[in-house]
């Protein structure tokens, strides 16, 4: 049955913004102070813009649902495409506990006037994380039109409004001549190039990942080859503006040594509002940030699951995961995803330090992220040679040299992002260096072996 085309460029753009921009991400780059601007510019030039350009070309040339699975399969075959999409799914799975914990933290701050101390209750965190995750799962049972509307409304209410407010307060703070926690000079803009301080750069890369999320829904776009590049342009401007200015707004009022990776946003709002004797408004900001995080969770709940549904149809996954409802929603995959997310949430709560646990999950997610994008960049290069005559409404300019330059820069950034996470960040106490590195490598290898085993199983099943 042909699906209705219900998504316009604005909705696609807002879904992309919802997938990428999370006020939860701002405290991490704020650890760099003014040097965060340098890292954002480098990440945009070497990672974000190459991804946006590359996925725009691939999505308009192959406007089919599935995103990187379709593109990598066209270039290297379906088993490699399946591996690439599995990496994307593992990225979101490792990311879910962190965003769910942020959601619980915002709800705790919202309830603080009536129930102080909830932010320290692991039972509260566990209940909220599971309720939100399973709630988002069942919401997506109602189809992409409902899901897309929720994402668009959530990103405007929960990301753009508080994001614009904190940026405005930060600009006012500087213009009013108040003391800032960072220095504004050229020396502060250039970071200290030490590997143990640069490791958070991979977290910035991860924070800018996901620009291709709209490609999972491109089959529901009203005019995919025209709307997708325009949606990316709109989303890119919003994403970079909020990320850079929002990070600085936190950094100027919260000392780098005191920034909490989960509650840094609320820390900043408390400083701003205390100046106006408006601390009663802090729970309101927590509510808006909560809505924004829910929009992000909603967007990422359905996207990778829709992509994996295609791999299930191609025989890579068990038949039970191919189940869909009358709206074409992959209900079996969504439930399976929620079960794994529930298990990972238990692991997150088991760890003592929320900030350290948050970073470990971020580092693991970053590894999966850069691996899947490496395949996407390589596919774009290969398809320029193997299928040069496919109509691409958008092409990276410069011919084959242009695609090699843009995709090559992206691949180098991905390789650096993969390697750097194995250096423990000096800003956090992650325990023994060898244990930290072994945990990351072991987790990555085990989870990366699963799609290889599934591909071998599929090959033998077809042979019989």
Domains identified in the chain and CATH numbers: 9-463 (1.20.1740.10)
Please give the average per-residue pLDDT across 429-457, as a whole number: 84
97-150 residue pLDDT tens: 878 888 888 888 888 778 887 877 878 888 888 898 888 888 778 765 555 566
Q: Which two tokens stand for residue 415?
A: 């390789």
Q: Measuring CA to CA, which residue among 333, 352, 346, 363 is closest to residue 425?
A: 363
Q: Is the pLDDT of residue 316 over 90?
A: no
Please give the average per-residue pLDDT across 274-290, as a whole number: 87
What are the DSSP calls for 197-230, one per residue?
HHTTHHHHHHHT--GGGGGGGGGGBSSHHHHHHH
Question: 185: burial class by Cβ within 10 Å (0-12, 13-18, 19+)?
Answer: exposed
pLDDT at res. 1 = 43
The region of weakest confidence among 79-93, 210-224, 231-245, 427-441 is 210-224
Q: Is the pLDDT of residue 425 over 70?
A: yes
Whole-number average pLDDT of the chain = 82
Task: Find all residues with CB under 8 Å of 448, minimum gap 6, and list them.
Answer: 83, 86, 87, 90, 371
247-256 residue pLDDT tens: 999 999 998 8
Supply the pTM of this predicted model: 0.79
Highest-confidence range of 224-228, 301-305, 336-340, 398-402, by mean pLDDT?
A: 398-402
φ, ψ dihedrals at 7, nearest 5°? -105, 125
Q: Which two tokens stand for residue 6?
A: 């219900």
Distance CA 154, CA 289 (A): 10
183-199 residue pLDDT tens: 888 887 887 777 777 78
What whole-number percentage of the chain has pLDDT above 90? 18
Highest-confidence range of 2-16, 206-220, 230-244, 297-311, by mean pLDDT?
A: 230-244
Q: Is the pLDDT of residue 387 over 90?
A: yes
Q: Is the pLDDT of residue 381 over 90?
A: yes
Choice between 244 and 380, residue whose per-residue pLDDT is larger: 380
255-271 residue pLDDT tens: 887 888 778 888 899 99
Please, which pLDDT band fits residue 221 given cuts at 50, 70 and 90?
A: low
Please give the average per-residue pLDDT across 142-159, as a whole number: 64
413-424 residue pLDDT tens: 999 999 988 988
The region of weakest confidence among 223-227, 275-279, 360-364, 452-456 is 223-227
């Amino acid at each position: 049955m042909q699906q209705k085309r219900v998504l316009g460029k604005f909705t696609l753009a807002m879904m992309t913004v919802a997938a990428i921009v999370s006020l939860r991400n701002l405290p991490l780059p704020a650890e760099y102070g003014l040097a965060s601007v340098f890292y954002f510019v480098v990440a945009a030039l070497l990672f974000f813009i190459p991804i946006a350009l590359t996925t725009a070309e691939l999505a308009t040339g192959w406007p089919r649902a599935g995103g990187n699975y379709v593109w990598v399969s066209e270039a290297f075959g379906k088993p490699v495409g399946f591996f690439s999409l599995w990496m994307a799914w593992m990225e979101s799975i490792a990311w879910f506990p962190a965003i769910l914990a942020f959601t619980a933290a915002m709800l705790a701050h919202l309830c603080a006037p009536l129930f102080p101390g909830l932010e320290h209750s692991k039972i509260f965190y566990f209940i909220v994380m599971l309720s939100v995750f399973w709630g988002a799962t069942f919401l997506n049972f109602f189809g992409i039109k409902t899901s897309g509307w929720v994402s668009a409304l959530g990103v405007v209410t929960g990301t753009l409004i508080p994001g614009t407010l904190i940026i405005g307060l930060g600009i006012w703070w500087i213009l009013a001549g108040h003391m800032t926690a960072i220095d504004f000079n050229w020396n502060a803009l250039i970071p200290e190039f030490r590997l143990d301080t640069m490791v958070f750069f991979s977290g910035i890369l991860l924070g800018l990942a996901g620009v291709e999320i709209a490609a999972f829904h491109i089959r529901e776009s009203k005019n995919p080859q025209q709307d997708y590049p325009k949606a990316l342009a709109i989303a890119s401007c919003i994403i970079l503006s909020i990320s850079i200015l929002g990070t600085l707004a936190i950094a100027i009022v919260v000392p780098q040594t005191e920034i909490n990776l989960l509650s840094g946003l609320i820390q900043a709002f408390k400083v701003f509002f205390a100046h106006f004797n408006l601390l009663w408004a802090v729970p309101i900001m927590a509510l808006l940030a909560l809505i924004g995080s829910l929009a992000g969770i909603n967007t990422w709940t359905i996207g990778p699951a829709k992509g994996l549904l295609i791999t299930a149809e191609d025989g890579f996954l068990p038949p039970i995961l191919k189940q869909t409802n009358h709206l074409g929603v992959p209900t079996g995959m969504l439930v399976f995803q929620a079960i794994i997310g529930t298990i990972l949430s238990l692991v997150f709560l088991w760890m003592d330090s929320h900030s350290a646990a948050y970073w470990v999950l971020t580092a693991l997610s970053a590894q999966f992220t850069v691996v899947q994008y490496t395949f996407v960049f390589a596919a774009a290069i290969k398809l320029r040679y193997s299928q040069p005559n496919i109509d691409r409404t958008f092409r990276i300019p410069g011919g084959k040299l242009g695609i090699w330059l843009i995709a090559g820069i992206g691949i180098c950034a991905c390789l650096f992002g993969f390697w750097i996470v194995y250096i423990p960040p000096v800003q956090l106490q992650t325990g023994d260096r060898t244990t930290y590195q072994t945990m990351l490598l072991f987790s990555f290898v085990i989870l990366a072996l699963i799609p290889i085993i599934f591909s071998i199983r599929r090959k033998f099943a077809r042979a019989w």
